[in-house]
Structure 1
């Protein structure tokens, strides 16, 4: 099998509070800031509370969703009097952790999120990146407290809109279910274990470990489904069906119920077999998304080690 040697990942960023009411990342970053985090092999770990104003207000954002502000176009645009607080902050974070696409960017950016959906632990990434896939494979092999899955968003990195895309490598940790504005110990512990295992993997990589390749499964986004709506008022006319609620990543087949209308009718899934995720995510109502649908892919990854000096 193919082998890949990678440069050392000497500058790591762990971020939380990109959405100010997703509490696991907020408290994880605050706890890490109290402690000096060292990894063998002269790795520096930067911790960052991404959107302090939204954290203080315990809101997802103040003016606009910070985690949609990191495309090349938005980061290269001018700052004016009308620029939102979050886009200003995106430029600051790009200067701190990037610049995106440059040789000065952080080697790895890990951004922590919570979802109200029953998704367990997910690592979300854009490109088919051997480093992030190996970290996912390692976490999946070690973690027993929650199911661990990978989600791939097939978007060019220039159009990638979320914070982790600022690093040379990056992924979002998404853990749920947890209500926004609430901290649950079990969910926090899953996040902590994932961060600890990421740092452990980096330490082993820099200590000379070769990680064997193999096959990993990833869920690749196909499309998003909106709620049924009144054609006149655009108000939703149905809720997620009880058979779908809390069943993220369970195969959805044609004819399976997906919505229950307020007048009692069942709306069924049409089209091919796909896997739902972010089912009934609270923050996606404003985005007109009831859930996403994905295909499951099997990816073959090479063995990996760090380049010797």
Structure 2
């Protein structure tokens, strides 16, 4: 079977607080900073509080969503007196950990998030990247007491808008349900375990281990669904109880998705798909009730570190 060789992954960024009210990443980064974790075997690890102003205010963001500021266009936009804080901060982070798309960018970028949706432990991946698919498979093989899933966003990296796209290889770890501004021990431990397994994988990879190729299933994002609204744009229905907390459960035509405030059921139309980010608190402002995905099997080759 084909084997692909990669340079060692010698620099890693682990970020929390990209959204200032998603507490797991905030506290993992604080712990890392406290214990001065900056070298693990062959890799230097940088822990970064991405949006300190939003963390201090315990709010998702102060002026605009930082995790939508990392497209090439926004990163290269001029800074003026009216530039929002988060866009300034995005350019600072890009200078510190990137620049995005360059040889100087960190080798592996991990951004830690929480969701109010019942998604369990979920990795968000962009392009088909053999490194991140191997990490996903590795975490899956180690954390067998719970489902570990991945969502693939099929977006060119230049248009990728989230922080982890700054790294040569990047992934977001998205875990829920956890309310905004709340820290749950079970979810904290789940994310810490996933981060620890990623660092172990990294050490094994850098030390010359070959990771055999294989297959993984992931959910490829297709589209977003908004809440039903009236002519004034006001929401007229909530997520149906049968859909609530059922992220990644197959949605078939005719299955209930919304319940109107007058008690009527709105049903799913179209093909069988998988919902995720169901009733995510932060997505009300984005006019998203849930996303829909298709389940896809990805095949990937064996990989090994390239020796000098």
TM-score (norm 1): 0.98
Q: Map residues 1-309 of structure 1 onto 2, 5 A cutoff.
A: 1-37=1-37, 38-41=39-42, 43-231=43-231, 233-309=232-308
* Deviation of 1:12 (Å): 0.3
Q: Distance in 2 between matches of 1:264 and 1:2?
A: 57
Q: Distance in 2 between matches of 1:198 and 1:145?
A: 17
* Deviation of 1:243 (Å): 0.4
Q: Distance in 1 between matches of 2:278 and 2:222?
A: 15
Give secondary structure in 2 for the equivalent of 1:112: strand
Q: Distance in 1 between matches of 2:179 and 2:92?
A: 29
Give secondary structure in 1 for the equivalent of 2:197: helix
Give secondary structure in 1 for the equivalent of 2:96: helix
Give secondary structure in 2 for the equivalent of 1:298: strand
Give secondary structure in 2 for the equivalent of 1:45: strand
CA deviation string 1:111-159 (max 9, x = no partner): 0000000000111011000000000000000013432101100111000
Give secondary structure in 1 for the equivalent of 2:139: helix
Q: Distance in 2 between matches of 1:103 and 1:32?
A: 26
Please provide the CA RMSD for this pair. Answer: 0.7
Give secondary structure in 2 for the equivalent of 1:260: strand
CA deviation string 1:225-265 (max 9, x = no partner): 0000012x111000000000000000000000000000010
TM-score (norm 2): 0.99
Give secondary structure in 2 for the equivalent of 1:258: strand
- Which shifted more, 268-277 or 204-213? 204-213
Task: Extract unaligned runs of 5+ from structure 1.
Answer: none
Q: Distance in 2 between matches of 1:28 and 1:61?
A: 19
Q: Distance in 1 between matches of 2:161 and 2:282?
A: 16
Give secondary structure in 1 for the equivalent of 2:179: coil
- Count of residue pairs the alignment pairs up: 307
Q: Distance in 1 between matches of 2:242 and 2:281?
A: 18
* Deviation of 1:40 (Å): 1.9
Q: Distance in 1 between matches of 2:40 and 2:205?
A: 11
Q: Distance in 1 between matches of 2:128 and 2:192?
A: 25
Q: Distance in 2 between matches of 1:245 and 1:141?
A: 28
Give secondary structure in 1 for the equivalent of 2:224: strand
